[in-house]
Structure 1
């Protein structure tokens, strides 16, 4: 079985090959203000990933599911595609 490929898909369906740069568990506090959008308030901890693309640009996770990322210099969300 081969390895999985990961891509971020952005505007115009542009895709960038990415790898996990870091991963950490983040504890959520009731009423806390952070950049991760939470739909289910019963969740107390999420895994937050940072990805790096083939150009060395870093993308940070913006949702608790782990499928939305943003680059620091842009407000456009990119979607994680695994294949």
Structure 2
């Protein structure tokens, strides 16, 4: 279960690096990160708060924030048959 959170955090880190690289090179963010049409214009700003961490530290910190405390094994015990 924790491995799933770790993979998700690593994908998020890689996505953040891609966005940062694109912004630094002067490219506009992908449409996934902006929504503009003739009625609305979206202005985005990015804050990369993880400059003081290594990738491993940042991933561990993200995994810790993803865990809600509800993860675990669910066991249902009954003395009645559950099939018809």
**Whose strand fraction is larger, Structure 1's or Structure 2's?**
1
TM over 0.5: no
**Whose helix fraction is larger, Structure 1's or Structure 2's?**
2
**Whose RCO is larger (CA < 8 A, sep 6+)?**
2
After TM superposition, the score normalised by the length of structure 1 is 0.23
